[in-house]
Structure 1
Amino acid sequence: MTIATQRLKSGRDGSALRWYLGIAGASVIWWLAYGQLIAFSEWATTLFPVDRQSHTGEAIAFFFYDVPKVLLLLTGIVFVTGVLRSWFSPEKTRALLAGRRQIFGYPMAAALGVLTPFCSCSSVPLFIGFVSAGIPLGVTFSFLIAGPMVGPVGLGLLYGLVGWKIATIYLVFGFTIATIAGWALGKMRLERYLQAWVRDINAGPAGDLPRSGRVLPTG
């Protein structure tokens, strides 16, 4: 190994270490700030010449508690979503679903829809990519239904605002609805309504993950 290569590797290791330390420090700061929201709202309310027990005092306290809370939740969730998106690319998601039996495809597609943070603008290319990769329409619809309904951002906000019980109920119902709806749409055999160019389009490679290469039955 040459000196230049050693320096390059050392620089990369140093950058990664600073990155991890920065993430750990930011997480600690985020957690401490989140834990002081009530104290901050109470202190901010005392700056106004109003009775704390009045409706105006309650409204001010609520404002100074809820606004920073939502901003902190959005900051944390958007960062985690970005990390998830770097792991779950559309190609890898398509590869995970390709070659699966439909009985496992529906719940797996719904689970990937919950985990993968693809926005609504990605729905059309994802739909075309899934169909051209041989993934049945029912499985594709399970993924597309679960994504907007139970995305990681909405689920994280719901957990932070109303607690884990409501968030868990929402997750279970959203996952179940996406799975059943995809199964029902698959039984309707809607492939005949697809445009020919959608079926014939070449989706390209499905990523680094292995796939069987066979087209699943649509029934």
Structure 2
Amino acid sequence: MRLRVRYGAGALASKAALAVTLAWGQPATAEQVHILALGDSLTQGYGLLESEGFVPQLRAWLAARGHDVRIVNGGVSGDTTAGGLARVEWSLTPEIDAMIVTLGGNDLLRGIDPAVARGNIEGILKVAQAGELEVLLVGMQAPGNYGPDYKAAFEAIYPELAESYGTLLAGNFFDGLMEDGAAPADLDAFMQADGIHPNEDGVARIVETPGPQVEALIAQASE
């Protein structure tokens, strides 16, 4: 868990509470971990009831495994990596211990230069690094319609930046839906009518794949 420096009356109150705790000799208890999920409509839960989206289903998956965690839904529909970079600093409120970054899908839909997307995601990771935040970076699989060079360059963003910045990595947001190399749009039973966003059942399958990495993120943030 990160140590935070507080000032003013809040700091005095915190110090007083700490002194009382030490005086009573009470054992330390695990604190709730606060995670920001920074992303686009896939994170936000586009087209779903609030309880069906990625964040609440991930929270429930973690709670079922005994984790005391609060996940802030920082998903904005239509957001690109540039949008995520523009809002990451004010989204990281003081209580946040770690961050899940799931961005790039809208960059792919718009054919944005992979170098631009890389720069934006790297900017987000620099903000996290400056704040001493643990990060799970979730990758995206590029379609083949922009050509093999574009596909290779875009998909390389995530593992390369994860290695450079020492973050955890989940290979592809849709890995939980992949069966024998099928694309997400082919799995009609798990997708909404637009063929882009998962339905409730699809989200349930998706959550199971990055779940263990999120558990690792919680462990790192709790150290």
Give the TM-score, by structure 2 length: 0.30
- The structure that is strand-richer by fraction is 2
- More helix by proportion, 1 or 2? 1
Structure number with larger C-alpha Rg: 1
